[in-house]
Amino acid sequence: MLALKAENISKQYRLGQVGTGTLSHDLNRFWHKVRGKEDPYLKIGETNDRTTKGDSEYVWSLRDINFEIEKGDAVGIIGRNGAGKSTLLKLLSKVTKPTTGKIYTNGRIASLLEVGTGFHPEMTGRENVFLNGAILGMTRKEIKRKFDEIVAFSGVERYIDTPVKRYSSGMYVRLAFAVAAHLESEILIVDEVLAVGDAEFQKKCLGKMNDVTKGEGRTILFVSHNMAAVKQLCTSGILMKNGKLAHQGDINDVLENYIINELSPNIEFRYIEDISKKAQIQKVRAYNNKSVETTEFGHNEDINLDISFINRSVNTGIRVNIAVLDKFENVIFITRKVFDGKNENNFTIKIEGGKLIPNTYVLSVAIDTPSVELYDIIKGGVQLNIIETGHENFLAGDTDNGIITPPVIWM
């Protein structure tokens, strides 16, 4: 049974304006409509690509989107910033109307698009639970039945009778998610708001969403830049690019397509001097034992990492942290080197061959101090592709997700 269906939906905006922006444009649209002709402004406009300046004042945030979502599906919607993910969720949540096309829904929709969606700042947490539930189409009886469960999940019981304007962003999103997840809607739409919560709450939310889909058979649409969370929760995915649907299908296929076609071409680290930073990473380079710079290594090859940084004004011991992450942003291992000098520093570490299973990894390099004051971070500065050589000899241990802690040799 279908829960959602999008049929040729598109959304056009005029930059800097609300609506069409001028009375002449509104009259022009009306004149074409009464004569049974197509809206003239649908023929103009540019793709929503933030990397180019563009010439038209009209932009297609979404263009010709078609998909069907079955009841009980957990669908991850991924893509770069500006790809159209949030706009798509707003259309599906009926926050705004599509410029063209139709959306068919089967069941009540609960959406969490930004922190405090549907909350009134002057009202208490208790009052907002009932208000938000009513907005989602629930009866007072339904809300009362779930109230204690909602408050317990949110962890804000002590402040439930305090106006939410005094809540922190974390408390806001805790209560808002608890309301959306516990009230009896058939479709739950969640944008990137979970990033506001701490790690423990994010884990709790993912667990709840798993229960909602697998235990209760409800449908979830989940937008996130956390690939590990998307992979854990979702069974199918939609990849958005420049306002268009680039790929749809099994979540592993969609994530693979995103990583290979969207992230990899921009993985190279380029240093741009920023004198406002007290310390800054200058170079991150990977090379093999033949001193050839590369991102591709055989399973048994050593990986040499050449890293340099400049310390402009940090007086205490400065730390350089190097993390190896898998393609879903799970941390494989982290190591650290401490320096005392204020001048430019350069060092090399070696990851012995045979310690990372064939897969794609990225490096994250950060500079901080023992007080955990962060000065600079480069995430995805270098990509490491470990390929099979035909003579694999994995060490004993947990290799299901590629996590083997390799020895690091400082040079």
> How many C-beta neighbours within 10 Å does residue 37 have?
9
Q: What is the pLDDT of residues 70-116, one digit of tens each?
A: 998 999 999 887 888 989 999 998 888 898 899 999 888 888 777 66
Q: What is the pLDDT of residues 203-241, one digit of tens each?
A: 788 888 888 887 788 899 998 877 778 888 889 999 999
Q: What is the pLDDT of residues 231-256, one digit of tens each?
A: 888 899 999 998 999 999 999 889 87
Alpha-carbon gap, residue 380 to 295, rounded angstroms = 12
Matching residue, tokens 């962003």: 169
CA distances, 347 to each of 251, 302, 350, 379 (Å): 39, 16, 10, 19
Higher pLDDT, 338 or 52: 338
Select the CATH number that applies to the domain covering 2-7+63-263 from these four: 3.90.1150.10, 3.40.50.1110, 3.40.50.300, 1.10.1130.10: 3.40.50.300
pLDDT band, very low/low/confident/very high, at 24 (cuts 50, 70, 90):
low
Q: What is the pLDDT of residues 277-332, one digit of tens each?
A: 888 998 888 888 888 888 878 888 899 999 989 888 887 788 899 989 887 778 88
pLDDT of residue 7: 93
**Least confident span in 32-46, 85-99, 351-365:** 32-46
Q: Which of 164, 226, 216, 162 is nearest to 193 (CA)?
A: 226
What CATH class does 273-410 carry? mainly beta
C-beta of residue 62 within 8 angstroms of C-beta of residue 84: yes
Domains of the chain, residue spans: 2-7+63-263, 273-410
Residue type, 28: N
Q: Which of 409, 396, 401, 380 is nearest to 303 (CA)?
A: 409
- What distance lies between CA 277 and its chain's CA centroid? 27
Using alpha carbons only, give the angle 350, 319, 377 rounded to the nearest 5 degrees: 85
pLDDT of residue 65: 93
